[in-house]
């Protein structure tokens, strides 16, 4: 088990789970100074429970479904397995994907372009 330092807890970090390279580049462009966006397609790559706690929120691409990545599994893992209240902001996805994410307890849903516009706002809200 890794020891999380106070400095690590104070870092302004978010998780981005997406395969869309163009969108990732646009999100990096609008990311406010002082913030770090960690890209992952597997929660295990971020660490264990205590490691996930240091992230302020997660951006989750509902269109990223593939054989090795299921956005719904990521939501279920955070909410049900880890029992974390990490804010999960989803973007993209069909109406059925969004409904499933709601049932899995994701927080909010946005169109892809709207996520780019909203990222600075989210960072300001979670800058504590």
We report the CATH number of the domain holding residue 83 as 3.40.50.2300
Q: Look at the chain and report how many structural domains it folds into.
A: 1
Can you read off the two tokens belonging to residue 66?
A: 């593939």
* Model pTM score: 0.93
Residue 1 placed within a domain? no
50 within 8 A of 1, measured Cβ to Cβ: yes
What is the per-residue pLDDT across 72-83, written as a single tens digit (0 to 9) for each?
A: 999 999 999 999
What is the per-residue pLDDT across 30-83, written as a single tens digit (0 to 9) for each?
A: 999 999 999 999 999 999 989 999 999 999 999 999 999 999 999 999 999 999
CA 82/CA 52 separation, integer angstroms: 9
4 within 8 A of 53, measured Cβ to Cβ: yes
Residue-number span of the structural domain to which 94 is assigned: 6-125
């Amino acid at each position: 088990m890794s020891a999380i330092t106070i400095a690590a807890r104070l870092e302004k970090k978010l998780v981005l789970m997406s395969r869309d390279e163009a969108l990732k580049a646009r999100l990096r462009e609008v990311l406010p100074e002082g913030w770090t966006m960690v890209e992952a397609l597997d929660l295990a790559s971020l660490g264990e429970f205590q490691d996930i706690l240091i992230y302020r929120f997660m951006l989750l691409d509902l269109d990223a479904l593939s054989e090795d990545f299921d956005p719904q599994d990521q939501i279920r893992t955070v909410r049900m397995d880890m029992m974390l209240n990490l804010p999960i902001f989803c973007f993209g996805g069909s109406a059925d994907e969004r409904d499933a994410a709601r049932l899995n307890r994701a927080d909010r849903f946005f169109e892809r372009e709207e996520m780019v516009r909203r990222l600075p706002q989210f960072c300001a809200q979670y800058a504590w």
